Amino acid sequence: MQSRDTRTWKIIALALVIGLLGGVVVSAALVAPLFMKPGPQGEIGATGPQGSQGTQGTQGIQGNPGTNGTDAILQILQHRNDTSARVDLTYDLSQWFNMSDFDSSMKMTINIQQNSKIFVEFSSSHTLSSGASIKVRIVVDNVYNSSIYQASSPNPSSVTCSIPGHIEFLTGPLNSGQHTIEVQFQRNMDGPSTQLERTLTATEITTP
């Protein structure tokens, strides 16, 4: 009888110990989260090194071909005269005369390469009155003639008109060597006529 009672007390004591230990574990499990607060966030780390360069892309398609080059200018010659010359007292009507007859600078010689072209410009102004009229043209080698510009004054009129004029001429391909350029004029209607400042320009042009 006494042995059974002793065993009973041992079982009761063991149960109490197990219960006590279980309570501690459970309490610790419940209390632990209250004390596990996250710490402050750390600083952002430094940027890592740049990665290696990627492989080169494929070559693009070829572009359209460019346009052909333009003509090249090899030389430019220019003569200018600012003096005036009265032409109605000396030169007859309806005939072509060279301006170099009274102004040698209006005749030009240019030495060019084979197949070059010559581009010629002439600019001038005239004083005309009482219906006077004058025509002007460019002549190369006494063979190639440009178009004509004409300056005229009203008729009848006592007013003297100052009229500008400009003309251009481009030859075809020419042989190499010297070529002569002249400026010619023709009086169409009679009246006071004075040739004022004038400029003659010649340009040698070649095609590449």
Burial (Cβ within 10 Å: 0-12, 13-18, ≥19) of residue 40 = exposed
Neighbour count for residue 54 (Cβ, 10 Å): 6
User: What integer pLDDT is reported at residue 27 of this predicted model?
Assistant: 47
Give me the average pLDDT of each 10-residue run along the chain (208 residues): 55 52 46 55 75 75 66 94 91 95 96 96 92 94 92 80 93 96 94 90 92
User: What integer pLDDT is reported at residue 59 of this predicted model?
Assistant: 76
User: What integer pLDDT is reported at residue 34 of this predicted model?
Assistant: 46
User: What integer pLDDT is reported at residue 129 of this predicted model?
Assistant: 87
Domains of the chain, each with CATH number or no CATH = 72-206 (2.60.120.760)
Dist. CA 151–CA 188, nearest whole Å? 10
User: What integer pLDDT is reported at residue 21 of this predicted model?
Assistant: 46
User: What integer pLDDT is reported at residue 8 of this predicted model?
Assistant: 55
DSSP 95: -
| E-state strands within the chain | 72-81, 85-86, 97-98, 107-112, 117-128, 133-140, 144-145, 149-152, 161-170, 177-189, 193-206
User: What integer pLDDT is reported at residue 172 of this predicted model?
Assistant: 94
